[in-house]
Structure 1
């Protein structure tokens, strides 16, 4: 069995503790959204059958638009009794059943995202749409760049403190890292966009990848 060892580094001189954050912005290359269908019928069996037929239509439409099968994932199938409020009796009246089927979709070519969303709502049979949420498929290079900038900035600041205190330089005692990614918020729902009867505009903007380093330096002579 492997065991982690706690190593305590003892400083002989004053210690500087800094928290340095660096952000690198980049255009996203991946978008994720959810879509699906909702159906109503007098019986649960009929509602489920109708929903299954329309959900297959949505999935087939996604595949015809170039979405890979591995990038389409069912996230929820819900069957619930459907009630309608009666104002005269002030009671909920049972009217049948409601079924919803939701899938999550990943688009790897966001230049086609607007066309895909429009096709789903206008001819693909989708009755709801949420998203998209933008991301970067592989942000390792961005993280490395932010990390290098944070290290350089931290060293520069620590050396300034050391020289101002009569020391010649610094050495690193410890480093702790935190990562945060910020992205634009989701677009309006498909029901709102379908009313406008226009092509869906998509502005992916940029995503910020932030590295925060908590670094301890010992001042050196």
Structure 2
């Protein structure tokens, strides 16, 4: 896997001879202490895309609205499965039933119109190149609401390890540089903490259209790159002769 990195530093240095605390263990420091916070990001190509699809229907009664919605949503799910998507990658995310009213300006009263039912599923695709075709197929099958796509990495452990490695290296280099400026020969780690950041969300495309207005050509989709990374805070003790 090919990685590209971007890093930022936030350093706050405190010169003190007081003991340093790491969790509940007290570590006595002999020299000045410096604390550095480093953020490291690793970007790579995504291998998972998640899209949302839904069906919204209206009818005079709640029973009819639910019956109609169930039939149309079943057609959408069947279409998703026909495209090779496994059951484990299809998840219902919400079913809503609401009464609908119109406002009569003359009488200044609400007039009951019927019931609206919406049913939504989240679909995980493992073939990113098929995203546009799948979106079009969903609309053709009766989906009235689409959102996404959201790109991610199935297993970002390697990317996190790379970000972690580079963050530690940069923190050590920066700590040694500070120590050298002040006449010390090296540094010793007193404590380290980490905050892991998951894959950064990408801008989402959102669409709402009736099935009969589906596009003739597949919707263009560009996966780009996704970013994952870590924030680490390391406390170093300056060692050796001081200036």
Same fold (TM > 0.5): yes
Choose between structure 1 and 2 for higher RCO, CA contacts under 8 A separated by at least 6 residues: 1
Indicate conservation of the 8 Å contact 2:48/2:125, yes or no: yes
Unpaired stretches in structure 1, ≥5 consecutive residues: none
Looking at structure 1, the residues matched to 215 and 129 of structure 2 have their Cα atoms a distance apart, in angstroms, of 21
Structure 1 partner of 2:96: 78
Looking at structure 2, the residues matched to 63 and 110 of structure 1 have their Cα atoms a distance apart, in angstroms, of 16
Summarize deviations over 1:154-194 as a string: whole Å, max 9, x none: 11111111111111111111111112232312112243995
Looking at structure 2, the residues matched to 67 and 114 of structure 1 have their Cα atoms a distance apart, in angstroms, of 15
Looking at structure 1, the residues matched to 94 and 177 of structure 2 have their Cα atoms a distance apart, in angstroms, of 56
So what's the TM-score if we normalise by structure 2? 0.84
Looking at structure 2, the residues matched to 130 and 89 of structure 1 have their Cα atoms a distance apart, in angstroms, of 38
Once the 2 structures are TM-superposed, how far is the Cα of residue 97 of structure 1 from its aligned partner?
1.1
Map 1:97-116 to 2 at 5 A: 97-116=115-134
Map 1:8-157 to 2 at 5 A: 8-121=26-139, 123-157=140-174
SS of residue paired to 2:172:
helix
Indicate conservation of the 8 Å contact 1:178/1:213, yes or no: yes
Summarize deviations over 1:134-154 as a string: whole Å, max 9, x none: 111100000000000011111
Unpaired stretches in structure 2, ≥5 consecutive residues: 1-22
Looking at structure 2, the residues matched to 22 and 40 of structure 1 have their Cα atoms a distance apart, in angstroms, of 50
Looking at structure 1, the residues matched to 89 and 208 of structure 2 have their Cα atoms a distance apart, in angstroms, of 20
Structure 1 partner of 2:227: 208
Once the 2 structures are TM-superposed, how far is the Cα of residue 195 of structure 1 from its aligned partner?
6.8
CA RMSD of aligned residues (A): 1.8
Match of 2:207 among 155, 167, 189: 189
So what's the TM-score if we normalise by structure 1? 0.92
Looking at structure 1, the residues matched to 112 and 84 of structure 2 have their Cα atoms a distance apart, in angstroms, of 41
Summarize deviations over 1:29-84 as a string: whole Å, max 9, x none: 11112111111111111111111100100110000011110111111111111212
Give the number of aligned pairs.
216
Indicate conservation of the 8 Å contact 1:183/1:206, yes or no: no
